[in-house]
Amino acid sequence: MDVLDGVDVFDRAFAFLLECAVVDSVSGSGCPPQAPQDAAQLRYRLSELDQDAALAVLVETASRTLAYGMKGRYSESKAQEVFGRLVDLLGPETRWWSNIDPAGGWVTRHTFDALVAGTGGGIVVAVLAVDED
């Protein structure tokens, strides 16, 4: 179990997804949901990343759209500044996870999604980007 400083990052990250209302249930057509239905399922869709890889995913998902790779919400330099500060604030002992390669797998009902979760010093941070084509 990934409990750091008394905090289970997967429980917190799944609660975040529920709060954002991006987790689907069985569709009207009877198809099974593509998003995880609990923290245990979410755990298997995320891979641990080192700090540099986590920062790279955060910058990429903020500066480019997931569907078409077009200009995103922030310029690359602004995303580097914002998320660089976040990574620095949490510190080098922070552990990071994402559904971006090598894990893959949706974490929401959207066509494209990227979740980055980190925990350190008793703080859990979850950053979610979604997109449609």
CA distances from 61 to 7, 25, 27, 37, 129 (A): 26, 25, 28, 24, 7
Q: What is the pLDDT of residue 96?
A: 96
For residue 2, pLDDT over 80 is answered with no
79 contacts 72 by C-beta, under 8 angstroms: yes
Convert the pLDDT of each residue in 13-62 to its tens digit: 999 998 888 887 766 666 677 888 889 889 989 999 999 999 999 999 99
Paired tokens of 41 = 């399922």
Q: What is the pLDDT of residue 1?
A: 45
Q: Classify strands 112-120 and 123-131 as parallel, antiparallel or unpaired.
A: antiparallel
The predicted model scores a pTM of 0.85
For the chain, give the mean pLDDT.
86
In the sheet that holds 112-120, the strands lie side by side as 47-49, 95-98, 112-120, 123-131
